[in-house]
Amino acid sequence: MKELNIKVDEIAYNLFGSYFTGRRAKFSSLRENIMKARLNVPVELWLSRAVFYSLLGMIFALAICLSLRAFMLMLTNTSFGLIDVILIPMILVITLIAVFGGFYVYPGVEAGSRSGRIDKLLPYAIEYVFAMASVGVIPYEIFKKLSNAEENYGEVSIEARHIVRDVELLGFDFITALRNLAAVTPSQKMKVFLQGAITTTVSGGELDTYFISTAEEYLEERRRNYADIISLLGILAELYVTGLVAAPILMLVMLSVMFFLGSGDILILALIVYVLIPFGSAGFILLVGLWSW
């Protein structure tokens, strides 16, 4: 599969790469999102891949449309008409726009998702950084150790690896590596943290003090967020009990009595049991999951 992807990328780049290479500056925002999403793909290759798969999608869409239309014509014993001439090109254009748009939007979506995951673990990573600094470990070694702790700090460790890469492979000094990461990290909180560390180091301040104050600040913010989530979950729980437990049970009892008396409607009972309660519960589960995340 990997070899196939490499071959597809090679074909796509050979076909469209030169066009996008000459227009690289026009896609600076997309390039930035690709870097923030850590997709590790040049923007011209990403766009070449997008065009290639868009055209491939159009071919598949055309084949499906013609096959379905031919099958329908065989059943109805009719021929192609004006509606086919209008509808099929519309489907092809929609397919092209959808596939290319998906490729164009995906890096920004992934960068936003990574930002959320980084913000979630950043306070604990800063605590780790402070603990290491308090025992005299030099700042670069701290971030190097952090880069190897992905099981505990997830995306934060992945970001720290770029500091190690810049220093050990590209030959940048530690401060420049911090600046490079601050420029491309998708998390605004991590960017602020890195810029604060840079300012503290350049001005001759104590990184230990900066790390502990930043850790306390971020953890306190995290506690407030958790308190807000718990309050919201309490409200949702009350709404769930009232709207999807107590009210349906009361309605079921009333409708059952009315049904046995000959004036009830079994369709309403069925809608409550098979539609309102299961779909309402699923909606609450989805809502709680989104807010908890």
Span 263-282, pLDDT tens digits:
666 777 778 878 888 888 88
Residues 8 and 97 in one domain: yes
Residues 231 and 142 in one domain: no
Residues 176 and 99 in one domain: no
- The predicted model scores a pTM of 0.73
Per-residue pLDDT tens digits for 32-65 = 999 999 888 999 999 999 999 999 999 999 898 8
Residues 66 and 47 in one domain: yes
Residues 63 and 142 in one domain: no
CA distance 181 to 136: 24
Query: Counting Cβ atoms within 10 Å, is residue 190 exposed (0-12), middle (13-18) or buried (19+)?
Result: buried
Residues 33 and 106 in one domain: yes
Residues 202 and 235 in one domain: no
| Residues of the domain holding 83 | 2-112
Residues 176 and 76 in one domain: no
CA distance 122 to 189: 8
CA–CA distances in Å: residue 75 to residues 64, 68, 86, 87, 241: 17, 11, 21, 19, 53
Query: Which tokens is 50 given?
Result: 């997008």
Last residue of one domain, picked from the residues 158, 189, 220: 220
Last residue of one domain, picked from the residues 93, 112, 131: 112
Q: How many domains does the chain have?
A: 3
Per-residue pLDDT tens digits for 235-268 = 888 888 888 888 888 888 887 777 777 666 677 7
- The model's confidence at residue 79, banded by pLDDT at 50, 70 and 90, is low
Torsion, Cα of 80, 86, 91, 94 (10° steps): 170
Last residue of one domain, picked from the residues 220, 253, 277: 220
Per-residue pLDDT tens digits for 152-188 = 899 999 999 999 999 999 999 988 999 999 999 999 9
Residues 9 and 104 in one domain: yes
- What's the pLDDT score for residue 291? 61
Percent of the chain surpassing pLDDT 70: 93
Q: CA 53, 57, 62: angle at the middle one, nearest 5?
A: 150
